Structure 1
Amino acid sequence: MLACLGRRKWRRLSTGTLKATWKSVNGEDASSSRGRIARGVSSGAETIAKERVDTVVIGAGVVGLAVARELSIRGREVLILDAASSFGTVTSSRNSEVVHAGIYYPPNSLKAKLCVRGRELLYRYCSEHEIPHRKIGKLIVATGSSEIPKLDLLMHLGTQNRVSGLRMMEGFEAMRMEPHLRCVKALLSPESGILDTHSFMLSLVGQAENSHATFSYNTVVLSGRVEEEKMRLFVAEIGSFVAQLELIPNLVVNSAGLAAQALAKSFHGLDRRFIPSSHYARGCYFTLSGIKSPPFNSLVYPIPEEGGLGVHVTVDLNGLVKFGPDVEWIECKDERSSFLNKFDYRVNPQRAEKFYPEIRKYYPDLKDGSLEPGYSGIRPKLSGPKQPPADFIIQGEETHGVPGLVNLFGIESPGLTSSLAIAEHIANKFLR
């Protein structure tokens, strides 16, 4: 579906009538054009309809949805564009569904500040809107004495980030709490939890629509250009690589996730010096089978590894036990592949061979053959192998010089937890 803006309100067009509508706005059968969308546009293959709009959010993942909701309830007319047929089909539906406390991130970084603030907002939102969630707590464990200094560092970081309730535990205390666990020391984070991500996103969609935001799925932004101090977007129905509509927004939020950098590179007039490099890390999840009840009641995390937080155990709201994700650095062959999300999400069953020894460090009772392939996700990272972790980038005119453009780069974990805080940050900083 592609939404077009009438004189003062959004007009919705179904995908079934879209092609006919494009013909009418280009001068063919102009008499049947509903709302006279292409007022004054003459016919011809190179002429497309133009629409002035208020705010465009590109990407209907959890962060894009949160931004759309926040901007719309603050009175902006918001149009959300996504190439998929529904919301949250990529990274937002391929994660651990964990509510992070804010422990791992450098003090005063965006990740630290937005995770802590986002967690507060998220728990409040879930309670007010009856989104299934549980604050089940997390144990970050050291399985050998050599890991204790790293655990101490995490305690220090979490304290600096003002994460409440953190407590260092001796191994016997943690194992009394979780009898199947084996560790020499553990950091307890009682503020960590889990939620139903789909219900959360569905609620955000409803809240945004109640505030008159409009969603246009199966819609791709092909490119953009800066003209007369405004970003112009060239939009098409998915499957077409010919621009069918030119949007002229006052504000554009690029929340395209894995495709954010590729999309930004298509914006003529945006200096590429301000577009960071892209790195992609696939993470696979395996589920635990052959058990009557979950072996753990809390989240259990090992010491973080390069590129991720380690192969951890998550118990979802239905009692399903998941292990993952691991880290597999992958190459993206070309910009169009990332732009169209042409990634391989298959889980190779043989990767379980690497999971067993990692999990048995803290869960020695794991039986052979008990791991079954689950699903995978891909992290949109700003740093690659052997590089230090990068912070979120929320980039506006003060950085790149393009009026009305906000780029979101590298919104990986804790993006879900931070989503409402990211939206609040954007609204406070960029709304005029």
Structure 2
Amino acid sequence: MHRVDIVIIGAGVVGLAVAAELSNSLTGQAIVVMERHHKFGMETSSRNSEVIHAGMYYPDGSLKARLCVEGNRLLYQFCKVWGVPHKRLGKLIIARTAEEVPVLESILNQGLANGVTDLELLEAGQVRQLEPHVAAVAAILSPSTGVIDSHALMYRLEYQARCQGTMFAYRHAVTMVERSGAGYRLTYRGPDGQSDWIYCDWLINSAGLWADKIPSWLGLDVEQAGYRIYPCKGEYFGVSNAKSGLVSRLIYPPPLKELKGLGIHATKALDGRLRFGPSAFYVQDLDYSVDEEHASEFYRAIKSYLPFIDLADLQPEIAGIRPKIQGPGDPVRDFVVRHEVEHGLAGLINLIGIESPGLTSSLSLAGMVANMIGKE
């Protein structure tokens, strides 16, 4: 049985960023990160496009808009200071037909409203100059979009937190959370399979795909609160041949309706490899396999803007699962970042529905959590 000041559940990129920030800003606090896997970032944080987003898609006044724009700047700064591999490649959001051009204009206006100041609307000839192998009648150029080595980022955040005294409890699965006086009692199963308890004053719920369990254990109606997680799977296919060199930037079609996803887009890995995805479909089971038969679906989507791609070029790569809090057919939902005082749970900060642009927003999310605790 142990007592600490702060417990963070989940060692994904957001949990690690929160640990690094809190250990820096709240000196002298005993902080523990609890993670059921044997190392950090084993789920959503390591199974994504590794894109540093600029923040042009998200609605006015949303946390996603504000935290992404701020996080973009913070993340590039962090990469420079800490030597995290990254490339500011730039991105084209394309219109494949004249009918899609108004969508680009809408995205451009939304980006300006969100504070993304470097976007530029390009005509077909300008697109061809930048990317001669891309079929598009127009595009938005986003110079501040890039890619990052997410594992290196998480390693640096963990290192920073450790150096500042944060303790990491890997292979410690939280199985119950209860109120205990003014704080919380967490029951967990350790590496030896035995149960034990830890007490804390502040509990940061950064459990990703499992984040709805913590408020449920504490008596909140997760349906009514809008905290229910709907796992949404996305698969990726890659190109391993020389065709990867025919594109130098990230290429995105217009986003899917209601921001279910950003469509099957083309990204560039740090090694120059071309990769496509993610798709987006809701699932019940957390299965990370890639169905090779879905290659034809990818091919049809990609061929509309990269005509040089053949079906035989596509090889299955990875799959990721997003912790969405919008169910099938529901309108777009914002991040939940909430100190649950109104629910009578002072000291509990829920981070729920942290999907894209969660990686880009990780440092700004951490700052937001630190401010919530600092005010108390």
Please give the TM-score of this superposition, normalised by the length of structure 2: 0.95
Cα RMSD over matched residues? 1.4
User: For 1:346, which of 289, 293, 298 is the aligned residue?
Assistant: 289
Structure 2 segments unaligned to the other structure (5+ residues): none
CA contact (8 A) 2:118 2:142 kept: yes
Aligned residues: 370
Matched, 1:228 2:181: yes
SS at match of 2:84: coil
Which residue identity is paired with 2:175?
Answer: L
SS at match of 2:351: strand
After TM superposition, give the deviation of residue 239 of structure 1 in Å: 7.8
1:163 matched to which residue of 2?
Answer: 116
1:413 matched to which residue of 2?
Answer: 356
User: For 2:228, which of 256, 277, 293 is the aligned residue?
Assistant: 277
Which residue identity is paired with 1:230?
Answer: G
User: For 1:137, which of 71, 90, 93 is the aligned residue?
Assistant: 90
Which residue identity is paired with 1:324?
Answer: G
After TM superposition, give the deviation of residue 368 of structure 1 in Å: 2.7
Which residue identity is paired with 2:180?
Answer: E
Q: 1:293 to 1:310 in 2, by over 3 A?
A: closer
User: For 2:327, which of 381, 384, 388 is the aligned residue?
Assistant: 384
After TM superposition, give the deviation of residue 276 of structure 1 in Å: 1.8
Which residue identity is paired with 2:351?
Answer: L
Answer with 1 or 2: which has the greater Rg.
1
User: For 2:151, which of 192, 198, 205 is the aligned residue?
Assistant: 198
Q: Distance in 1 between matches of 2:281 and 2:255?
A: 15
After TM superposition, give the deviation of residue 220 of structure 1 in Å: 0.7
CA contact (8 A) 2:244 2:273 kept: no
Which residue identity is paired with 1:236?
Answer: R
Q: Distance in 1 between matches of 2:107 and 2:341?
A: 33
User: For 1:84, which of 21, 31, 37 is the aligned residue?
Assistant: 37
Matched, 1:296 2:247: yes
CA contact (8 A) 1:231 1:403 kept: no
Matched, 1:265 2:216: yes
After TM superposition, give the deviation of residue 228 of structure 1 in Å: 1.7
Structure 1 segments unaligned to the other structure (5+ residues): 1-49, 333-342
1:97 matched to which residue of 2?
Answer: 50
1:58 matched to which residue of 2?
Answer: 9
After TM superposition, give the deviation of residue 395 of structure 1 in Å: 1.5
Matched, 1:368 2:311: yes
Q: What do the CA deviations read for 1:223-250 (whole angstroms, capped 9, x no partner)?
A: 111132222111112584x6x2221101
Q: 1:171 to 1:142 in 2, by over 3 A?
A: same
Q: 1:275 to 1:151 in 2, by over 3 A?
A: closer
After TM superposition, give the deviation of residue 275 of structure 1 in Å: 5.3
Q: Distance in 1 between matches of 2:87 and 2:43?
A: 24
CA contact (8 A) 2:295 2:311 kept: no
Q: Distance in 1 between matches of 2:205 and 2:244?
A: 43
Q: What do the CA deviations read for 1:21-69 (whole angstroms, capped 9, x no partner)?
A: xxxxxxxxxxxxxxxxxxxxxxxxxxxxx32111100000000000000
After TM superposition, give the deviation of residue 118 of structure 1 in Å: 0.6
Which residue identity is paired with 2:2?
Answer: E
After TM superposition, give the deviation of residue 138 of structure 1 in Å: 0.5
Which residue identity is paired with 1:101?
Answer: A
User: For 2:60, which of 107, 118, 124 is the aligned residue?
Assistant: 107
